[in-house]
Amino acid sequence: MRVVLLALAALLFFAGCAKKYEVRYNKDGREQSSSSSKLPTKPSSSFAYNMKPYDVFGKTYYPSFVSIGEEFSGIASWYGPDFHGKKTANGENYDMHADTAAHKTLPMNTIARVTNLNNNKSVVVRINDRGPFVDGRIIDLSYSAGKSVGIETTGTAPVKLTVLGFDGKISKTGDKGGKFVSAIAVQIGAFRNKSGADEWAAKYASVNGIYKSTVKSYDFLGSPMYRVMLAGFRSEAEARDFIKDGHFAGSFVVSLD
- What are the pLDDT digits (tens) for 150-186? 999 999 999 999 998 876 566 544 444 333 334 678 8
Residues 160, 212: one domain?
no
Residues 121, 229: one domain?
no
Task: Write the CATH number for 82.
Answer: 2.40.40.10
Residues 134, 243: one domain?
no
Pairing of strands 100-102, 122-129: parallel
Residues 195, 228: one domain?
yes
Query: Which of 177, 108, 133, 215 has its CA nearest to residue 125?
Result: 108
Task: Write the CATH number for 235.
Answer: 3.30.70.1070
Q: Who contacts 159 (Cβ-Cβ below 8 Å, separation ≥6)? A: 73, 74, 75, 76, 114, 115, 116, 117, 138, 139, 149
pLDDT tens profile 211-250: 889 998 887 777 888 989 998 876 677 788 888 888 898 8
Q: For residue 172, how far is the Cα from the chain centroid? A: 22
**Last-in-domain residue among 129, 149, 178:** 178
Mean pLDDT of 97-123: 92
* Residue 218, number of CB atoms within 10 A of its CB: 13
Query: Does some domain include residue 18?
Result: no
Residues 54, 91: one domain?
yes
Residues 70, 41: one domain?
yes
CB 25 within 8 A of CB 46: yes
Residues 128, 209: one domain?
no
Query: Does some domain include residue 137?
Result: yes
Q: State the pLDDT at residue 29.
A: 28
pTM of the complete model beyond 0.85: no
Domain that holds residue 242: 184-255
Rounded Cα distance, 152 and 3, in Å: 19
Amino acid residing at 199: E
CB 252 within 8 A of CB 187: yes
Query: Does some domain include residue 6?
Result: no
Rounded Cα distance, 1 and 133, in Å: 9
Query: Does some domain include residue 8?
Result: no
Q: Who contacts 79 (Cβ-Cβ below 8 Å, separation ≥6)? A: 1, 2, 4, 96, 102, 131, 132, 140, 141, 142, 143
Total domains in the fold of the chain: 2
Residues 163, 204: one domain?
no
Residues 55, 126: one domain?
yes
Q: For residue 215, how far is the Cα from the chain centroid? A: 21
Residues 188, 161: one domain?
no
pLDDT tens profile 41-79: 333 333 444 677 888 988 888 888 777 888 999 999 999
Residue 128 has pLDDT above 70, yes or no: yes
Query: Does some domain include residue 7?
Result: no
